[in-house]
Amino acid sequence: MKKAVGLILMAIAALCFTSCSKSLKDVKITSYDVTSVTPLGLSAFDATIDVGVDNPSVQFTLSRINATVKMDGTPCLYLNADDVTVAPRSEKVYTLILHGTLDKNFNPFSLLTLLKSPDLEPVTIDVSYHGALKGGLGKDFEYTDIQLKDLTGRI
């Protein structure tokens, strides 16, 4: 189960970090590791991910990071992450803290289908966040119905 959750969390991190590359330069995810997943009752968890980022450009900050994971179009998991600032012209590992909550109408045992089948076709992600440069100039980003299988190639 930790592997399936880790895959979802890493895909979201990859989307957030690499989608800024169109306006910056070639920001790349160089490594990732889900260091902990801590259950908070039956329907919530906190997760810590170490993400290696190669940033050949200027400093930027990602804030208001939110994601909704859907299976077959039905929301199953809501995520938000703490803000992260990426240093300029550096290759560093950043710790990303995520907070997750299962949708109250979602059966958590449905997530077990991810363990049985490597087919990620039914899983999509909606992601929104605010990206800002060091001077404060920023933009809101929003992506909807991104196939998880398409994001895994970016990691």
Task: State the DSSP string of 91-141.
Answer: EEEEEEEEEEEE-TTS-GGGGHHHHH----TTEEEEEEEEEEETTS-EEEE
- The structural domains of the chain, with segments of one domain joined by +, span 2-154
Q: Environment class of residue 68 by beta-carbon count within 10 Å: exposed (0-12), middle (13-18) or buried (19+)?
A: middle
Tens of pLDDT, residues 104-138: 888 777 766 655 655 667 788 899 999 888 877 88
Please report, for residues 18, 41, 127, 154, the alpha-carbon distance to residue 12 in angstroms, rounded to integers and kept in the order given.
10, 23, 7, 10
- CATH (one of 2.60.40, 2.40.160, 1.10.3470, 1.50.10) for 2-154: 2.60.40
Structure tokens given for 23 = 């306006």
- The residues that bridge with 138 in the sheet, in sequence order, are 132
The one-letter amino acid code at 14 reads: A
For residues 129 and 67, give the distance between their C-alpha atoms in angstroms, rounded to a whole number.
Answer: 9
0.75 exceeded by pTM: yes
Tens of pLDDT, residues 69-90: 898 888 988 999 999 999 999 9
Query: Is the confidence at residue 2, as pLDDT, over 70?
Result: no
